[in-house]
Amino acid sequence: MNLATKDIRHNLGRFILTTVGVGMLLMVVMGMGGIYRGIIEDATLLIDTVGADLWIVQRNTRGPFAEVSRVPANLVHRTLAVPGAKTAREFVFHTIQRERGEIQRGQGKPIRIAVVGLSWPIDKGAWLPLVRGTPLSQNHYEMVADRTLGLSLGERVRLGKNSYTVVGITEGMISSSGDGLAFLTIADALDIQFDIPGEATRLEREARHTRGSLSDLGRAQPSITETAFKLPTEIAAIGPRQISAVMLTVLPGTSPDDVAAIISGWGDVSVYTADGQREFLLKGTVEKIRRQIGLFRVLLTIIAAVIMALILYTLTLDKLHDIALLKLIGAPNTRILGMILQQALILGMTGYGIAWVLGLKIFPMFPRRVILTGEDLMQLAAIVLAISVLSSILGIWKAMRVEPNEALTG
């Protein structure tokens, strides 16, 4: 006769409620681990997906994901001249926040979009994990959006002064801050980034005209001040809008470090490998939140161990009379210890199973990705097993202190 299962059947209702409570607590521990893993995956997703060997950014900056980076667009042509370079692509990355009522008809609701510029026509977004639609097919007024943004295929989205049609929907393309990614051409991404109101443009032109008319050159040649009313791209003294970075791939058999050594000698840029960019993100942008989630996970694991120990201790207290009676009729201590240990294992493993089942149903509803890997699940299972064994020690200690004659006292 298995005393553990018999005792569980005798108090089935209480055991079920206790197991469900432990399972929900373990689900939170499991979720914390999944959120931790999701933060890492989201932070490095774009770097791992675009397939660039080298990232060329503004001098003394750490790249577009860590801080603001500005480099001239013609840097693409310079990098292609480096021995070992295969392809070079422009890259623009910035985040915008709008009221949903501004881009859709309906109630105003905040929506954050991480805008990524693709180097058209070299990069049309064919590498994106599309679930619906197609990559970009023209240089302007099209976008591919992640499904977390809530935009539908064919919808027209107004950003800045232009409207963009959603031609493709991706899944799982999230920035390090958890915002859905929207992919446009470089020209459109820059239009959105540097969009300013018409009145601001008028005031800037008037200010340029005033500065020119007050200068000696402007007084000597009044026609020069007329250029103040032209577009910034038509004024030679004003440079073109700058991009965030240049992504470089090297020829097969070429070491990225050798190419990076050449480019690093340029005085206006810094160059990093894909691993270097990934390290900057993990050690910089998301480092604090990674540590905080990790500490919460450790804390919840300790709390789960304490609660399970108290539960088993309470269950043992309820059975003191039965344990004393077993000792009185000659039951060996190993049988009593086995009963408590088996109950602890059943409680822990059943709670783990409940946590896993509930997690599969609930975690997809979270706003951030929760990634449960086989390695993490096995690790948590081993932790739950260890907790079950250790938490039974308190109950075993109490059971060993029970005297057989206590069964005769009531």
pLDDT profile of the chain (410 residues), mean per 10: 59 78 86 84 82 88 81 88 89 83 58 89 88 91 91 88 91 83 92 78 69 63 63 60 87 89 88 85 75 83 79 69 64 71 82 90 85 85 83 70 59
**Residue 21 shares a structural domain with residue 52:** no
Q: Is the previous residue joined to 232 through a cis bond, with omega within 30 degrees of 0?
A: no
Give pLDDT, residue 239: 59
Give pLDDT, residue 211: 67
Helix residue ranges per DSSP H, 150-237: 186-193, 198-214, 216-220
Query: What's the domain range around 304?
Result: 3-42+288-409
**Residue 189 shares a structural domain with residue 151:** yes
Give pLDDT, residue 242: 83
What residues have CB less than 8 Å from 398, skipping those under 6 apart? 313, 316, 317, 320
Beta strand 269-273 with 156-159 is unpaired
Task: Enter the pTM of the model.
Answer: 0.72
What residues have CB less than 8 Å from 181, skipping those under 6 apart? 46, 113, 114, 115, 116, 145, 146, 170, 173, 174, 175
Handedness of CA 236, 238, 243, 248 (dihedral sign): positive
Boundary residue ending a domain (235, 263, 287):
287
Give pLDDT, residue 1: 42
Judge whether 301 and 383 are in contact, CB under 8 Å.
Answer: yes
**Residue 141 shares a structural domain with residue 268:** yes
**Residue 336 shares a structural domain with residue 227:** no
**Residue 347 shares a structural domain with residue 215:** no
What residues have CB less than 8 Å from 56, skipping those under 6 apart? 71, 75, 79, 245, 246, 247, 248, 263, 269, 270, 271
Angle subtended at Cα 49 by Cα 44 and Cα 54, rounded to the nearest 5 degrees: 80
Boundary residue ending a domain (287, 303, 337):
287
**Residue 325 shares a structural domain with residue 253:** no
**Residue 338 shares a structural domain with residue 364:** yes
**Residue 96 shares a structural domain with residue 57:** yes
**Residue 394 shares a structural domain with residue 318:** yes
**Residue 394 shares a structural domain with residue 311:** yes
What total number of domains does the chain contain? 2
Judge whether 194 and 231 are in contact, CB under 8 Å.
Answer: no
Cα separation of 281 and 344, whole Å?
42
Q: Count of CB atoms within 10 A of residue 302's CB?
A: 11
Give pLDDT, residue 98: 79
**Residue 272 shares a structural domain with residue 295:** no
Cα separation of 189 and 203, whole Å?
24
**Residue 136 shares a structural domain with residue 256:** yes
Give pLDDT, residue 72: 87
